[in-house]
Amino acid sequence: MDTIFIEQLAVDAVIGVYDWEREAAQRLFIDLDIGFSIRDAAADDDVDQTLDYQAVAERVHAFVSASRYHLIETLAEEIARLLLADFEAFKVTVRVSKPGAIDQAANVGVRVTRSSEA
């Protein structure tokens, strides 16, 4: 299985369960592992046969910045669903990090893995 990844995609979004979290956007970081065959692209050295990383980053950024979920769990699930549907990925792992959510921790977050077969 081939994996294309994007790490630390920074996005500001309104997310959280507390009233103060709903008042202003917070910085989230998104990591994506996208299962996608790169065999043909590599064999032909042809960019048109691989995943457009910029298109993925722009689509996820736009989706997250427009979202208004309460839970990062929901956000991660919806990003996974979007990638499977819109980019012909066969498996995705989405990690959503919310730094500063807990004073005593550098970071908190969730990681979900979903496949097109499920």
Residues annotated catalytic, as ranges: 98
- Residue 67: closest CA among 13, 10, 6, 4: 13
Phi, psi dihedral angles at 34 (to 5 degrees): -115, 115
